[in-house]
Structure 1
């Protein structure tokens, strides 16, 4: 075994040589043989020790650094050819600009410094500098802790079998942190509805729920991206609350925060989309079936530098650590803000839903889907109604009404509405108001429409409003929109009510009865 380090004795064997020399009675050759070094090397060390004049007791206490400076002093630095070092901070700043490469910066550098570093040395010095300034952190993910989700930049396509139209769809990819177990599914687009639906399918695929999700800052998941305090989309937050999972978005402009799924997306593109590149799919269901088949192969494939596959690691690490799925599958809702009207109702689509009358004028949050409408005030549910798609429908709870079925805030009653209409326009307007009120289950439901009819008197003469109201009363369709349409289109000007004399219309395209009588005589 060699006992040298960089062509010199290590301090351990140097000490041994000097110790044997101080014992006395041993020749240099015997000391060299005992230490397994050459006699010349041993003799050189002994001569340097003698020349130093250091007593052995002091020598034995000296640290290795001091011994090395005595026995192997540093040689004076040789003059080297000095080359100008590039400005590393400038290079780093310029490389962040679009289209700027290290090759371009080296060409600019060498033009200013003809005797400067070569291309390879230029790159080497910059890489060494960048490693010190921006070191990469290696994440060791705990089992069952995180799932990283993102959309693939490369989009698969489906072809309409009838028209031949090609449509791009989005590929959702999710990767668990510890095992890299991967899930992929195609969705029509990146809207919130399909973003959340993909998450629900992902949890079903994993058969459990990790502690947190790490998404990118797309609008479907994050309403307001922020480096330190992002604002989560309400629907996405609702889904996370249902599954008991935390949403921790990656920092904007920091792709290394979600490096796990970036690598997962790359694997899906190479191992799934590339394999399917020569196949034609006529529906997203057909495409997802093929993706699911190739996904099995991806998860069963042994990973590079590891003996295990993603599926094996998933069963060993992530699967036992995942939380169980909730008893009920997540039901997706839409959200909106609305101000409570003076009739203590809010509108979703073409229907209206009541809230407690004391909240008139307040802003509420509305959570709804095709089945139910829930209204929240200050994060507390104050009303819940079955969803209706009937135009003009009012869902009113008696518990939400003020005492005596009257609008307490301003004192409106059906009688007052009738008197106001009579005073503003006339008797037919008042009758139309009564008809609108009678068509609703509760008078309060009709107040908004009644006010709309009366307000038309600001834009049209009372005579026209009266005539329009008489027309709708005769037709039996007494609604605000019908009255407004008659006035906007001027139908009240050409419509003749019963009992009114009709005038003959004169026009060059109207032949009249005389034309047909003459033609018959011929």
Structure 2
């Protein structure tokens, strides 16, 4: 048998037909026939090891043994084209092939041989163009490796814009958008914009293994990012991440990324941008050019291929657009505040030390604990110095602190006594604003509740006796050591001692009459 494998190998090395004839590998006529047929069928070297010369002979010259063959050879190119259509499988095509053979009284291959022979033909001819890419079946997404520089118009400082790429692998229709970062919020918004650009959704969504898509992806389990899963559920699509370090799982996206880097990023290399909006305007312009470029190996453009072959098979969009939400896990600190990355919001104080789920949308911040929503705030759109706190989230003592005011402290001090009034006035007037003395006044009220108003008044009087600058520390120390009680007891004992020393004294009226009783 002619060594077709060797002919194809020598041809790939530049060996001519004359040289093959001279070395007695094959005649010039045979070599010429092999060359022409191989070019027509797209067969080239290298070939898989399990492809034999007999297999090649049946592919190159199927009519040679037509009379000797008992079985009808399938039309492999027809099978290949049909498999690209939605819902078409090898089993269905074999059923149709078998029925035609029986109608003409010929013998068909069984289903196993039918499938094996087609797959071998596909390997030999490298016919992998669109076998796995049915119309409207999947969207592949990725970030471009290169970035677009943005310059500050005042300082000249340079930052980067990252390019998001989504592609329909059947028609290669693409969508691109520039973002300030590759965080979850931009990742989700880009998907929404891509769905709107395509005018529909596909059955599958194939991303890379970035953190915005998957939390982990092992041989046994895939854990999706919660925010990403929420988007997929809303649009009715299924996320099937590419395997780790397997770029061929999303080869169309990889190819489109390289194409975008050439025809968008590289094409804009000489332009200088001063805002993200300017970048996206230029990117949108280049995207239309990219989707309108003619294919090199087939007729039409990406846009025409999408409109003619793929658009009818896209799933419809929901009635209302998706509001992207970013989920994160936070441990509630002692100030019972959680952050959206820019501002802080309160949660119930009894969750201090617990882990909660924080859901952030464009206009809303929600906090969940064990699946139940425990807090909800409108999202602040600009950076604020003070957190957004709800009164019901605060402990009772903190709530009480918010109700403090200057007049209430003065009224309370009047109910205790004059010395306490002096101390409260000192606290309120010693700073630049009365509010600076609220903390000391609040502490004074707590001492009054603990030790009683009478003892507090005595302690304030004793502090005034020591100096003119009272403090909570000194008053508290006097009350704890009971110096106010000791001082009062000492005064009472001194008065009793003086009475005992002098006995009963007679007044001036006694001696006015010469000391005689009347």
TM-score by length of 1: 0.49
